[in-house]
Structure 1
């Protein structure tokens, strides 16, 4: 580990620069990266999936923590730097070139439970997050998600009912998982500095509510928050049985989606699931 050159030196030697098109922003602070890698707990010997490692800043921290890292990187410019890192930590790093949105993560991890840690590229972060939260099989193969987002997105994930930040992401993250804001990261920590602040969200899977289809809940929340300024009786008109389900459990159809608790959305989804 003492032989690792500074990240800035690695980037300069390989002629790397953050790509705006790929949503890249590099982190150089090794102490900060070690703190991020420590959020999910002891990673020694454990499999970790990292998306968008870039030149390998967080990857270094994960390898120092003893993790067995599978890193998905679509920027081929970064592959030589990651290969060098793999030589320093033999047997701990596997780099997969490609688009994380198009790859089967469960297959990549060979059916083994894994943690996800990533400074997600801003342009794919939300899409990947929703994908990891979805699916009918639960608990998922991932044991935890530790992800860097724009602070605004992070706040939407952990938001509570009643505020403007509360929406579909909060419901999807909280209905069968525990989500918390683990750390805020100042924009000055990145190169180049993004225009917004960032934050790290940590999610651990919880118990799956009985009798509820994830697909039904996703469809329900998409309709409810897709027209969040409208009353539920209007926004849910396109979801068969939803308005009747509101009345069946005593929810005023004149309420708006942002006033609904996660438990209330789950209760409606349960009725709709039974009717499928």
Structure 2
């Protein structure tokens, strides 16, 4: 219990002292009107003293976007809503954001989800990255596989949807669905300890209509160390709407935006804003373009490139992967009504212990659930889960709901 006592003291100092801001590494630019068909230039990576000798020189990506007219035509006519990255300035910004700042100087392995035309894929390889391209749409596979054959082992193309890895539904699993064990084995990725460095970076874009559902799928897998997280601290580099980003980093007291998803991600991960980009920069299929480019007011919205890195100290002797699912369910229940009293929720889970639990963290007795910090929720769970009076039956009430949500 000494580690819990130390955490209590740290949280007391944290709550009473000045609050550190959410880490931000922001590279923003003004609205850019992409001109794909007219681009003939090259891309140059910002120099870094930590890059290897081969990539310290100016990165020149001389492939004209015009050379990929067939792939771009397929993107234009795509039947499902997607955003494609074709703008050269945006590609250069992404390369900078994915660069291994502060690491050993080696270009990290990138798992690129739904690369589509493969324009960013080529730039990543030119920058020295080994790329695993997971493409869900079979229409794009031939051109990606052609690129793979000339990549000298630098590119692996898999017909797979990252968000359909380890499906909950039973039956035969066929591409683009796939089990993570099969995927990682085929890509020759081995399990590493949670304390090890990030084994690979996943680059993906969340669909605006289902981004919350997709983030919830990651939360369940992360806290239970299932799916890709069984192989280590997988880092997500995600394009999401600015509205979702602000909800993800919202702080206690913001009863509109501070939600269970905010608490769970902040308690488990470092969250960094890397880049903001207008939606107008991305290529969208022509049938979706008018609705995807603007809000109801008609002004362009921004997408945020956000780095989400699981912390090394997420798990401990007081909080294991076996506790993860229960903690997620508890947090959902507590944050469902953010103005409700914390003491009432605690007494429901551990009858008669609410007052002592609140006093143990030096919290106000009348504090609302929406005013408790993520670190405090995690410590409360570590304490309450070891009480004999802890009632875990609340987990069963949400299982059917969660299966329905995460199976979509």
TM range (shorter): 0.7 to 0.9
CA distance in structure 1 between the partners assigned to 2:182 and 2:340 by the alignment? 42
Q: Report the TM-score when normalising by structure 1.
A: 0.82
Quick check: 1:151 aligned with 2:239? no
Q: CA RMSD in A?
A: 3.1
The offset of 1:270, in angstroms, is 0.5
Quick check: 1:171 aligned with 2:280? no
**Among candidates 294, 300, 308, match of residue 203 of structure 1:** 308
Q: After the TM superposition, which of the residue ranges 37-46 and 83-92 deviates more from structure 2? A: 37-46
Check 1:46–1:203 CA distance in 2 against 1; reply closer, same or farther (3 A cut). Answer: same
CA distance in structure 1 between the partners assigned to 2:66 and 2:336 by the alignment? 46
Stretches of structure 1 that go unaligned for 5 or more consecutive residues are none
**SS, match of residue 181 in structure 1:** strand
Q: After the TM superposition, which of the residue ranges 228-237 and 94-103 deviates more from structure 2? A: 228-237
Task: Work out whether residues 183 and 199 of structure 1, in 8 Å CA contact, stay in contact via their aligned partners in 2.
Answer: yes
Q: Deviations over 1:54-94 (max 9, x none)?
A: 22243233222222222222211221232233245331221
Q: Deviations over 1:155-180 (max 9, x none)?
A: 22222222232222222222132112
The offset of 1:246, in angstroms, is 6.1
Task: Work out whether residues 249 and 262 of structure 2, in 8 Å CA contact, stay in contact via their aligned partners in 1.
Answer: yes
Tell me the equivalent position of 1:265.
377
Tell me the equivalent position of 2:85.
27
Check 1:3–1:60 CA distance in 2 against 1; reply closer, same or farther (3 A cut). Answer: closer
CA distance in structure 1 between the partners assigned to 2:252 and 2:384 by the alignment? 22
Check 1:106–1:198 CA distance in 2 against 1; reply closer, same or farther (3 A cut). Answer: farther
Tell me the equivalent position of 2:171.
none
**SS, match of residue 308 in structure 2:** strand
Tell me the equivalent position of 2:44.
none
Bigger helix fraction: 2
- Output aligned runs, 1:59-70, within 5 Å: 59-70=121-132
CA distance in structure 2 between the partners assigned to 1:76 and 1:243 by the alignment? 58
Q: After the TM superposition, which of the residue ranges 252-261 and 216-225 deviates more from structure 2? A: 252-261
Tell me the equivalent position of 1:226.
336
Q: Deviations over 1:198-240 (max 9, x none)?
A: 1011122322253123223211211122233433356667x63
Check 1:150–1:15 CA distance in 2 against 1; reply closer, same or farther (3 A cut). Answer: closer
The offset of 1:259, in angstroms, is 0.9
Bigger strand fraction: 1
Quick check: 1:72 aligned with 2:120? no
Tell me the equivalent position of 1:46.
108
- How many residue pairs get matched? 273
CA distance in structure 2 between the partners assigned to 1:62 and 1:224 by the alignment? 43
CA distance in structure 2 between the partners assigned to 1:67 and 1:27 by the alignment? 17
